[in-house]
Structure 1
Amino acid sequence: MGRKRKYMLENVLYTLPALILVTMVIYIPFVMSGYYSLTEWNGIAKEPVFIGLKNFKTLFAGNTEYIKSLTFTAKYTVLFMVLSNVLALALAVALVQKIRFANLMRGMFFIPYIMSMTIVGFIWKFIFSQGFESLFAKTGWKFLEWSWLGESNLAFFAVVFVGVWQSLGFYIVLYIAGLQAVPKDVLEAATVDGAGSVTRFFKVVLPLLGPSITTCIFMSLTNAVKVFDIILAMTKGGPGGSTYSATLDIYREAFQNNNYGLGSAKALVFFVIVLVITQVVLKIMHSREVEL
Structure 2
Amino acid sequence: MVFSIPAIILVSLTIYIPFLMSSYYSLTEWNGISKQAVFIGFRNFTALLQGKKEFLTSLWFTTKYTIGYVILSNLIALLLAVALTKRFRLANFFRGIFFVPYIMSMTIVGFIWKFIFTSGFEKLFEFTGWQLWNYSWLGSSHLVFYSVVFVGVWQSLGFYIVLYIAGLQAIPKDVLEAATVDGASSWQKFSRVTLPLLGPSFTTCIFMALTNGLKVFDIILALTKGGPGTASNSVTLQIYKEAFTNNNYGLGSAESIIYFLFVLILTQVVLSAFRRKEVDL
Correspondence for 2:30: 41
Correspondence for 1:237: 226
* 2:197 and 2:279 in contact (8 A); partners too: no
Pick from 37, 50, 54 the counterpart of residue 65 of structure 1: 54
Rounded to whole Å, the distance in 1 between the matches of 2:68 and 2:265 is: 19
Confirm whether residue 212 of structure 1 aligns to residue 233 of structure 2: no
Q: TM-score, normalised by structure 1?
A: 0.95
Amino acid paired to 1:270: Y
Amino acid paired to 1:186: V
Correspondence for 2:142: 153
SS in 1 for 2:265: helix
Deviations 1:33-60 (CA, angstroms, capped at 9, x unpaired): 0000000000000010100011001101
* 2:196 and 2:279 in contact (8 A); partners too: no
The structure with the largest alpha-carbon Rg is 1
Amino acid paired to 2:94: M
Confirm whether residue 97 of structure 1 aligns to residue 86 of structure 2: yes
Deviations 1:106-153 (CA, angstroms, capped at 9, x unpaired): 011000000000000000000000000001111111110000001012
Q: Equivalent residues in 2 for 1:43-192 (5 A)?
A: 43-192=32-181
Deviations 1:57-80 (CA, angstroms, capped at 9, x unpaired): 110111011000000000000000
Rounded to whole Å, the distance in 1 between the matches of 2:50 and 2:9 is: 39
* 2:197 and 2:280 in contact (8 A); partners too: no
Q: Is there any run of 5+ residues in structure 2 with no aligned partner, and where?
A: none
Q: Is there any run of 5+ residues in structure 1 with no aligned partner, and where?
A: 1-11
Rounded to whole Å, the distance in 2 between the matches of 1:74 and 1:249 is: 14
Q: TM-score, normalised by structure 2?
A: 0.99
1:290 Cα deviation after fit? 5.1
Confirm whether residue 246 of structure 1 aligns to residue 246 of structure 2: no
Identity of aligned residues (%): 66
Q: Which has the higher helix share?
A: 1
1:291 Cα deviation after fit? 9.0
Pick from 2, 10, 13 the counterpart of residue 24 of structure 1: 13
The list of structure 1 runs, each at least 4 consecutive aligned residues, that deviate by more than 3 angstroms after superposition, is none
SS in 1 for 2:162: helix
